[in-house]
Structure 1
């Protein structure tokens, strides 16, 4: 079991786990909308986790069986420093063999079915 947890969380610390629990209590409207489509294996039987700890990061959504990370970006992600941070973070996640899909909050709210289609194509 410990090997499974290690593979699931990639060595995330108890502090990262606690922060993820807190983030689950304060999801953005876009996160809540996408979570409604993903939770309970609603998307063709794939299990997604929300605000999931991976190493030093907390990803918005994660499907372990397909090694897929989904990130939702608000307007702060347009800032140059944030773009640089996101790029480095994505690189580190990809080093674990994970694929990362990024959507804007607006895409999720205005074009939910298009987002779901892209997620299914990635899986």
Structure 2
């Protein structure tokens, strides 16, 4: 897939992809970094949390065709060999069972917690933090 096509896919997601992206907002803001249209070896995946080694595919109606199913099966063998767990959901799963899809993603992340991205960076203190004149010396106790 060319860079231009990848940009186009990111800019024009399907309805199910938009719904999925919105549904995982709380995960994305709590330390799980998800990306869209990610290149992994010779494949592009719909969504990936690289730190957790989790790939999520949202399959449209074309995924029921024999050749596409064969391609999906090949990809699903390739990715686990490289440490990725693959979750597949149909468009209908995402659109009609949003909570169930979210719960499945959370369950998968829980099993991969050891690979979780570091906590979000600490926020600056309201007092400003940093060193003041005469402060920040070694051995000081606050």
Instruction: Classify the TM-score, shorter chain.
Output: 0.7 to 0.9
Deviations 1:27-51 (A, max 9, x none): 1000000111234754643111111
1:60 equivalent to 2:54? Answer no
Aligned residues of 1:17 and 1:53 also touching (Cα < 8 A): no
1:92 equivalent in structure 2:
78
Query: What is the TM-score of this pair, normalised by structure 2?
Result: 0.70
Q: Distance in 1 between matches of 2:40 and 2:5?
A: 12
Give structure 2 stretches of 5+ with no counterpart. 110-142
Of the candidates 80, 89, 101, which is equivalent to residue 103 of structure 1?
Answer: 89
TM-score (normalised: structure 1): 0.80
Check if 1:73 corresponds to 2:59.
yes
- Note if 1:115 corresponds to 2:106: no
Extract unaligned runs of 5+ from structure 1: 1-14
Which protein has the larger Cα radius of gyration, Structure 1 or Structure 2?
Answer: 2
